[in-house]
Chains A and B, each alone.
Chain A
């Protein structure tokens, strides 16, 4: 089993290299000369040439990439064109805010979705099930920036209960968390329900009942553990994408997180920041997905056995 973990960790490295390669080149290939864009208006040709040298754009791209990779090993992802701050530090400064929002949203989502999904599955076809599914579908179909704006209209402008943006107190996190959480809840409820439905018809539940296990325990202990795999997958992917920054929500609520950072730097063509942030975000996601894979083994002993024997990867999520 440990061999499997090590092997997966090692496999992260080519993925990270691949991603950084992809991102670096895509951004570099962008048409338009970066230097002339960030140079001051009245710069002369020589001054532009100097800038070019200073930023290293006169070197061939592979060399630049090599230097970048070397820097990455030291935690140096370059320096922002705009602020002059090191990219890595800027990212890390914003990360806690994103973390807070992410965990708040996921927490709310899990607390609501799993019981609701179980309820829906157990009462399949009844009004409880139908209403839940309709509401879930509505939640999925709503663009989250719209929801955020509506919440602002209702709670900030009309009722004056909650702040419409910014950061600082507990009240500030409520609306953003609801905004992000709604989409998460909708998806997770559907997943939970669908997974439970698959499990509910299994024979081993009948065996449990024939032993005299109370119905509640049959569902919550025997059935649920078997239904967890798809649920864990979805929570994992949701967490990963939240940790990368909820760009839209952060924009709507002026939440100083990583997502806003990326967006601002794209708009101001702050190449090192964009590149660095995307790479960081992708690394975060890959690590979370690895944890999800490992979590499977904890929940399902058959998968644990697979990992232990093959020492190979489980593909095809």
Chain B
């Protein structure tokens, strides 16, 4: 899609396992991600699909033990994350890439003020005095919609939504090239969700930050993202531009996701959940991981893992059925 040199995030063939006492969780099974400047990628999938693990690896924050990055290349803003020394890694974190985590209630340190926590990031990466860092921190607070005088307050004095804003302020304080947002609004009330999303969109646009937006909510993807990658059982099964994936859906799993959404216009229709459960990541089936639940599965599907194939214009899908050039899924047929 983009020239390799300009990519803010370049992941190739990433495989991550969690090695536990009695079993091994195959969390991520060979994914590629290429993200250009100023673009927003929506990483979609159910809980357990491996999205968070993949994202954590970009900052080398996968807990080790038990997590092991078995193979793959991870390049963030040109830095090879796996080859950096701890000192270099610390310079990259927070400055070139930063992360927003899912649960704002536990993401902030309860014994330091929010001002201090934002300022810490600035002090680490920018060449400024303590006072200047603190002033900038107050600016960031204002930017996320919190009055500057509250910088001396502690996290427990803020509501969930406001805590998340502080987290956003921390993440964007040093103007990182890449922001990884792991379900940033999932833990918030619906009305607050919308506010926080708006705020994020504004800031991202202003700073031209590239974003990996991890979510299971297709609505959020539709609102914010340029590109989409759908993950299932540790692999990417479909990826492309927002329009491509939403309007010209190809993978049966993606179709299933769309079908699971209740349609307000067709209220008498039954909900169509995807039957079955995601496979046990310690015991993945041979062949396509989705085959056991897939309405289009053939015998071949259970035999070999389908490759992610480019079907034109960068829209890729990993489904054995597409070897047959006439194959389309139901959703496409309706058009």
Name A residues whose Cβ lies closer than 8 Å to a Cβ of B: 202-204, 206-215, 222, 225-226, 299-302, 305
Contact = CB atoms under 8 A, between A and B. Distances in A.
A206 B120 contact: no
Contact of B156 (A209, A212, A225, A301): A301
Contact of A222 (B101, B109, B157): B109
A210 B112 CA distance: 17
The 7 closest A-B pairs by CB, nearest first: A212-B94, A212-B93, A203-B106, A211-B94, A204-B109, A212-B90, A301-B154
Contacts of B156: 301-302, 305
B110 A300 contact: yes
27 contacts: A203-B103, A203-B106, A204-B108, A207-B107, A207-B109, A207-B167, A208-B120, A209-B61, A209-B93, A210-B61, A210-B93, A210-B98, A211-B93, A211-B94, A211-B170, A212-B89, A212-B91, A212-B95, A213-B90, A213-B94, A215-B86, A225-B112, A226-B109, A226-B111, A301-B156, A302-B110, A305-B157
A211 B87 CA distance: 13
Given A206-B107, A207-B101, A211-B98, 20 more contacts: A204-B106, A204-B107, A204-B108, A204-B109, A206-B61, A209-B61, A209-B93, A210-B59, A210-B101, A211-B94, A212-B89, A212-B92, A212-B124, A213-B90, A213-B120, A214-B90, A226-B109, A301-B156, A305-B154, A305-B156
B201 interface: no
B208 interface: no
Nearest to A305: B156
A206 B106 CA distance: 10
A210 to B, nearest CB: 5
Nearest to A214: B90
Given A212-B121, A301-B156, A302-B156, A207 B170 contact: yes
A227 to B, nearest CB: 10
Contacts of A226: 109-111
A56 B120 CA distance: 69
Contacts of B73: none
Contact of A204 (B95, B110, B124): B110
A19 to B, nearest CB: 35
A208 B109 contact: yes
A211 B86 CA distance: 13
A5 B90 CA distance: 43
Contacts of A301: 110-111, 154, 156
Contact of A203 (B101, B120, B121): B101
A95 B156 CA distance: 43
A137 B125 CA distance: 44
A188 B162 CA distance: 38
Contact of B108 (A207, A210, A214, A302): A207
A202 B106 contact: yes
A207 to B, nearest CB: 5
A49 B254 CA distance: 103
B135 to A, nearest CB: 18
B49 interface: no
Interface of A is mostly: helix
A271 to B, nearest CB: 49
A212 B156 CA distance: 24
Contacts of A305: 154, 156-157
Q: Which interface residue of B90, B106, B167 has the most chain A CB atoms within 10 A?
A: B90
B233 interface: no
Interface in B133-175: 154, 156-157, 167, 170
B99 interface: yes
Contacts of B103: 203
A159 B95 CA distance: 60
A225 B61 contact: no
Contacts of B125: 212
Contacts of A211: 93-94, 98, 120-121, 124, 170
A257 to B, nearest CB: 37
Contacts of B90: 212-214
A36 B277 CA distance: 87
A210 B93 CA distance: 6
Contacts of B61: 206, 209-210
Contact of B124 (A203, A213, A302): A213
Contacts of B109: 204, 207-208, 222, 226
Nearest to A205: B109
A204 B101 CA distance: 10
Nearest to A229: B111
Contacts of B108: 204, 207
A100 B90 CA distance: 45
Max chain B C-beta neighbours (<10 A), residue from A202, A212, A215, A305: A212
Contacts of B59: 209-210
Nearest to A223: B109
A112 to B, nearest CB: 25
Nearest to A209: B61
Nearest to B89: A212
A225 B111 CA distance: 7
Contacts of A222: 109, 112
Nearest to B59: A210
A202 B111 CA distance: 13
A208 B59 CA distance: 12
Nearest to B86: A215
B186 to A, nearest CB: 14
A206 B101 contact: yes
A208 B106 CA distance: 12
A171 to B, nearest CB: 42
A211 B123 CA distance: 11
Contacts of B121: 211-212
A204 B155 CA distance: 11
Interface in B65-100: 86-87, 89-95, 98-99
